[in-house]
A and B are shown apart, each in its own frame.
Chain A
Amino acid sequence: MIYREAGDFSTTYPQDSQTFPIKFDRYRYYVVLAFAFLVVPFLINDYWANAILLPFLIYAIAAIGLNILTGYCGQVSLGTGGFMAVGAYACYKLMTAFPDVSMFIHVILAGFITAAVGVVFGLPSLRIKGFYLAVATLAAQFFLVWLFNRVSWFYNYSASGQINAPERDTFGILITGPNATAWATYLFCLIFCTASAIIARNLTRGTLGRSWMAIRDMDIAAEIIGVNPLKAKLTAFAVSSFFVGISGALFFAIYLGAVEVGEVFGITKSFLVLFMVIIGGLGSVFGSFAGAAFLVLLPVALKVVGADMLGWPTDIVAHFQLVIVGALIIFFLIVEPHGLAQLWRLAKEKLRLWPFPH
């Protein structure tokens, strides 16, 4: 009844092609943004920031990045963890080399450095496809982790091989380090997350996104109609790695503060982000958010219910977590192979007809 396009007339082309053509959707979007920017910073505490919101926002950026490569351009990648590590180490080297520069610039530069590395590792995609490409990106994953473990220049020759984020600020507000306030770190990540989503959304529905999708759907046909596969694939790798690099930089500098490459950016991280993209929905920006929320929030929610509310032993809860999350993944893949984004789409379709389905 409230969710419908009736009475909402587009009179210009921009209006016709906007992201949220339905008025209710549009207002909901503005309300969510306003809530996230204007209300949450006043309510947030350390627990909400560090345990829930920061990982959610940062994983969402990583999922958007991988979604561009895998969901929009059809290139399966298992190198996300490695590319996040590039972002993290680039950010660390920049932070320690130029302490006076704003964190905004460091994070964005880390994104560009990762984009360059991504392009290099994307070159094989011109020759190899599908599973074989997945294996090639897997090589990138292992090589990058090995590199950051091996070459001590990357961790400034510290004894333990760990990198620690020193205190850095932006516009005089502490962003990294232990004394950074919850609202500042949250807002910093939120700005990057919102910007990433908007950029990704607009890239994917423009010329570039269309060429990616053409490659995804059938690369030979795309080549015949004039899409340059070299350009399409490499830009997909570059843009994807850019976002993944930003998420890696934030993951290290803002969220964890100290990182050990093998543990934090190992192969499990690549799989985690890939699962987020698959569960959330391939080829959907909203799906990236839904997938990140699902895999970040669900374990925490299960832990709170099991250990804190029901008082079960922590090991039982941890084992249940694995079982329940695993079962839910299988359930979703069987019932809705297109992910949570497709469920959302269906729900919207139903809502438009409600209360008079025909």
Chain B
Amino acid sequence: MTLKLTTLALGAALAAGPALADLVFPSLDYRTGPYAANGIPVADAYADYFTMLNARDGGIGGVMTRVLPCETAYNTEKGVECYEATKSEGALVYQPYSTGITYQLIPKATADDIPIHSMGYGRTSAANGKVFSHVFNYPANYWDGASVAVKYMLNEEGGSLEGKKIALIYHNSAFGKEPIRTLEELSKKHGFELSLLPVDHPGQEQKSQWLQIRRDKPDYVVMWGWGVMNQVAIQEAANIRFPMDKFIGVWWSGSENDVLPVGENADGYKALALTAPGDEFGVYEDLKKYVYDEGKAAGNGDQMGTVLYNRGLYAAMLAAEAARTAQEIHGTADITSGMMRDGMEALEITEERLAELGFANFAPGFKVTCENHGGNGMGAVQQWDASAQKWTLITDFIESDSDVIQPLIAEDSAAYAAENNIEEGCN
């Protein structure tokens, strides 16, 4: 068996036929529940990209890929069930798209030697690879997001936020609370006043929070929302006539699903972005040829080019690239989850490689190291144009303020290490 696989790996370039084993990428997705509208495009893209790789390249390095979907409904108990059900099938990497489930899986997956990629969510301090050996949150994390948003506002206000009022409206969960610590530090540094407005799950009831915003008249409102909470917040902001261009969502609060229900009133709403929006990228030609036209698209096949579909594609591409890196490092095509972890840690995404893969100008390049699992920490700002029904990037990718974030990451990961008796790695 091993011999056959090695032969197969050597002839990887020729391998068009069926592989002996497959690379399993579990997809803990949610197509039901209050977060379904946001979960569907991500899940569709993840499945479509691997379908495309199988059809176009015969998988990764000659080994076919298999996406293993499991419905979590954004519920941690179901997430645990999904993890246990899929891990025995040889799962290579978990991407749960839920901060709650990520927290659940961090210790479990580390013990089982399976990496987690929480792209732009999860536990921020996992960027410290010395403590979190199996958790990766490249290319950017929540604290980067908070810092990028503040930098953008600084720029808008001509370099000073002194005396300004910024309100954070957030999902009252681990996800929404993540940026608070950074924003508090930044408010000390830049002298703005921060007010906190929690919204309870699932977020349909926000009248009192927006009443408070109307009373306090903050200069900016920053939102950390997900699912149905986003559209309700944008609607409420429109109702109190809060200026939309002063309302900035994190990258989880800036998809078509969030602004379309509000119609014209959502015009000018801003959100952070990890990737460029739209479908004008080379990869879409291949997707069309090998997936959509073949009728193999996942779900209803109507999510292409949306912000979250692109994010799912990006996540799938990064996973595939990490798998390829792992194959190169270990010289075998049939990698295990432990090898996958090494691949993720050695991942380097350059602009050239992105262009080669059909992702030119899609996102900035970055490099992962043993110490830094967090990537470059860059995000851009995008704005919604309601009449054209399109998101457009209005800034370049902005670098986060690592002077503020690095000490916080070190502090939080040290607390985790102390609590769980973890020795620092990477020596």
**B294 located at the interface, meaning its Cβ lies under 8 Å from any Cβ of chain A in the complex:** no
- Interface residue stretch chosen among A78-86, A203-211, A260-268: A260-268
B110 touches A262 (CB 8 A): no
25 residue pairs from A and B, CB less than 8 Å apart = A46-B84, A55-B77, A96-B419, A149-B198, A158-B415, A159-B124, A159-B177, A159-B181, A160-B103, A160-B123, A160-B177, A160-B178, A162-B103, A164-B416, A166-B419, A255-B80, A257-B107, A258-B107, A262-B201, A313-B31, A314-B69, A315-B31, A318-B71, A318-B73, A322-B32
Question: Knowing A158-B415, A159-B180 touch, does A47 contact B421 (C-beta < 8 A)?
Answer: no
| Contact across chains for A149 and B88 when beta carbons are under 8 A apart | no
The reply to whether B76 and A178 contact each other, CB–CB distance below 8 Å, is no
Interface set of B (CB-CB < 8 Å, partner A): 29, 31-32, 36, 69-71, 73, 75-77, 80-81, 84-85, 87-88, 99-100, 103-104, 106-108, 110-112, 123-125, 172-174, 177-178, 180-181, 198, 200-201, 299, 412, 415-416, 419-421
Other-chain contact of A50, B69, B81, B99, B201 (Cβ < 8 Å):
B81
B interface secondary structure, majority: helix
Main SS of the interface on chain A?
Answer: helix
Q: Which of A159, A264, A322 has the most CB of B within 10 A?
A: A159
A262 and B200 contacting across the interface, CB-CB below 8 Å:
yes
CB-nearest residue of chain A to B421 = A167
What residues of chain B lie closer than 8 Å to A260, measured between beta carbons? 76, 100, 103, 173-174
Interface size on A, residues (CB 8 A): 37
Q: A319 interface residue, CB < 8 Å from B?
A: yes
Q: Which of B29, B110, B174, B198 has the most CB of A within 10 A?
A: B174
Q: Among residues 256 to 284 in chain A, which have CB atoms less than 8 Å away from a CB atom of chain B? A: 256-258, 260, 262-264, 266
Q: Are A314 and B419 in contact (CB under 8 A)?
A: no
Does B421 lie within 8 Å of A164, measured CB to CB?
A: no
Q: For residue A177, which residue of chain B has the nearest CB?
A: B107
The CA of A315 and the CA of B420, in the complex, are separated in Å by 37
Beyond A50-B81, A161-B174, A258-B103, 18 additional contacts (C-beta under 8 Å) are A51-B85, A55-B77, A159-B125, A159-B181, A162-B100, A166-B420, A177-B420, A178-B107, A178-B112, A179-B111, A256-B104, A257-B104, A262-B172, A263-B100, A266-B201, A307-B69, A307-B71, A315-B299
Which of A51, A260, A266 gathers most chain B CB within 10 Å?
A260
A50 neighbours in B (Cβ, 8 Å): 80-81, 84
Residues 283 to 324 of chain A near chain B (Cβ within 8 Å)? 300, 303, 307, 313-315, 317-319, 322
User: Which residue of chain A has the shortest Cβ distance to B418 in the bound complex?
Assistant: A166
Q: How far is the CA of A65 from the CA of B136 in the complex (A)?
A: 41
Contact with B along A131-167 (1 / 0, CB 8 A): 0000000000000000001000000001111101011
CB within 8 Å for A314 and B107 given contacts A159-B180, A160-B177: no
Instruction: Tell me if B174 and A47 are in contact (CB < 8 A).
Output: no
CB of A315 within 8 A of CB of B71, answer: yes
Q: Which residues of B contact A300 (CB under 8 A)?
A: 81
Chain A residues positioned under 8 Å from B108 (CB to CB): 178, 257
Q: Which residues of B contact A262 (CB under 8 A)?
A: 172-173, 200-201
* Contact residues, A19-48 vs B (CB, 8 A): 46-47
Among A149, A167, A317, A319, which residue has its beta carbon within 8 angstroms of that of B420?
A: A167
Instruction: Name B32's closest neighbour in chain A (CB-CB).
Output: A318
Chain A residues within an 8 Å CB radius of B103: 160, 162, 164, 258, 260
CB proximity of B209 to chain A, nearest CB, Å: 15
Q: Which 6 A-B pairs give the minimum distances between C-beta atoms?
A: A315-B31, A178-B111, A160-B174, A178-B107, A314-B71, A51-B81
